[in-house]
Every structure is written in C-alpha cells, then in structure tokens.
Amino acid sequence: MFEKLFENVRQKSPLIHNITNYVTVNDCANMLLACGASPIMADDSGEAEEITAICGGLNINIGTLNQHTIPAMFAAGKRANALGHPVVLDPVGAGASTLRTNTALDLLKDVKFTVIRGNISEIKTLTLGSGTTRGVDADVSDKVTEENLNEAVSFARDFSRQTGAVIAVTGAIDIVTDGERSFCIRNGRPEMSAVTGTGCQLSALSAAFVTANPDHPLEAAAAAVCAMGLCGEIACRRMREPDGNSSYRNYIIDAMYRLTPAALEEGANYEMR
C-alpha cells in the first residue's frame, strides 16, 4: 500500500507549512519538493495562522526555537487543529534545555498532533518531562537495539495511546506506531547521522505523507520513514571515493526526487509487531 500512499503525495502535491529551524530549513524545502509536495516557511505570529489556513498540513520543528517563533507554533498548531489539518511535531533537542522540553510539553497540551517524530531520547523526554538528550542526538544509553526492541515498541505504543498521535521513534531501527499496530523499520544507513537535518527532513516528509493520506496516518508516517531510509540506502550506494557527507546530503535528496512509488513499495523493509 506504500505505493498508493506515495502516489497520493505526488498527485496531490500538498502544501506544507513549516515552522522550523534555520539550520536545515533549505534541506527541508528541497526534500518536500523532491517528494512532490510544496513547502512554505512562515514563523511570525503575525501570519502563522493565515499561512496554515491556506496549507494542507503543518510541520512544527523546535530546532532553533526562540521567544518569537514559539507563539507562532502555538497559534498555527491550534488553527491547524481547528481546520482538521494534520500536524507533525519534531521535538528537536527536547531534554537539552528547559526551554525546549517545556515548549514541547506545552505544545502537547495545547495542540493535537497527528505524528510526533523524534529520536528515542527526545521521545523519552516527552514522556518523562525531562531527559538526557546529548544535544540533538540520542543518548547512547537510550538507543533502540534488537535486544530492547520489544520494550521500545511497548514504550512508543504507550506514548501513542497517551497522546493520540502516531509516534515515530527513529534510529538504527525505526518504530512507527498508533498504539495498536507497530511498524519496525530497518531501512536507512548509519552514515545518515553524519548529515545534519536528515531527521528534520523526515519530519517534513511525514507531514507531506499524512497530509496527502488523511485517512491513513499510521501507514503514511511509516511510508515516509521507509522512503527516507530507502533514499539513504540508494544515496549510499552512489557514493564514490572522494564523496563525503556533503555529497551524501545531495544524493539523499536526489534519491527522493527519483524515487518511484513502486520502488518504495519494493524497497520498504519492515515487520509488524
């Protein structure tokens, strides 16, 4: 079914409102274009609600949040909820500062999210109210492995039930769950962590997929996670001797631009738990 879900993105070309960080914003815009969606970035509270209203979905990323963009996140989130638009939360660095943790927790109170995507440390921070995030990367002690996978699935499932959101915990093994069914996804490459913003791009991509497939948020989010990982694999195979993380970054976005719905269906590597 991933084939159909991706076809919907390419055919509907959903317009996605991004309130995101300035570190990876250009990559998020190009990734959205690569998958067939259209990006718009707007983070002033003087226009956030109006911009959300003309879009199909909203992607909130707290990567370089500040006192002026935080109110825009709340305003846009509530407006998107009122309009029935899908909303994605990327709690970048939750646990790294009180401001990030509290902003993410307050957003969870005021806004109903369709998808919450983060690394395991960020998601744990949201459940516990505090965390041990190592900057914007997951803490080593938290990492999801084959050994603790069932435990991690169970944890994500509980958080999904608590929030009503699809939870996407991404890392070496990705978990995407709606509290009932859980995708355990093994697409992707470890080299992706040497490119800044692959997580941010995935959140933007998830917003595009759930917006184009409003009746299937779980499958749409899982398809986005598989697509991103698959592009990481395709791009990795393209790497030649002098290429490094900057070429890899380009190749990942290129791979999404070239990815066909059929290739996603075939390359998606997951099991249900």
Where do contacts with a copy of itself occur on this chain (CB under 8 A)?
15, 21-27, 29-30, 33-34, 38-44, 46-47, 50-51, 54-55, 63-68, 93, 96-100, 134-137, 194-197, 234, 238, 242-247, 249-258
Distance CA 226, CA 106 (A): 30
Cβ-based nearer residue to a copy of itself, 131 or 217: 131
Q: Closest distance between a copy of itself and the C-beta of residue 138, in Å?
A: 12
Cβ-based nearer residue to a copy of itself, 103 or 170: 103
Q: In which order are the strands placed within the sheet that holds 115-118?
A: 38-41, 15-19, 57-61, 87-90, 115-118, 166-169, 174-177, 182-185, 270-272
Distance CA 21, CA 203 (A): 12
- Regarding beta strands 87-90 and 38-41, do their DSSP bridges make them parallel or antiparallel, or are they unpaired? unpaired
Q: Six-digit token pair at 66?
A: 């500040």
Cβ-based nearer residue to a copy of itself, 122 or 219: 122
Q: Amino acid identity of 24?
A: T
Q: What is the DSSP letter of 137?
A: B
Distance CA 196, CA 180 (A): 32
Distance CA 122, CA 102 (A): 12
Distance CA 210, CA 5 (A): 9
Q: Closest distance between a copy of itself and the C-beta of residue 198, in Å?
A: 11
Q: Closest distance between a copy of itself and the C-beta of residue 98, in Å?
A: 6
Cβ-based nearer residue to a copy of itself, 138 or 221: 138
Q: Closest distance between a copy of itself and the C-beta of residue 23, in Å?
A: 5
Cβ-based nearer residue to a copy of itself, 18 or 182: 18
Q: Closest distance between a copy of itself and the C-beta of residue 112, in Å?
A: 24
Q: Closest distance between a copy of itself and the C-beta of residue 235, in Å?
A: 9
| DSSP-H helix ranges across the chain | 2-12, 25-35, 48-54, 69-83, 98-110, 120-128, 149-163, 198-212, 217-238, 245-258, 261-267
Q: Closest distance between a copy of itself and the C-beta of residue 51, in Å?
A: 5
Cβ-based nearer residue to a copy of itself, 64 or 127: 64
Cβ-based nearer residue to a copy of itself, 158 or 243: 243
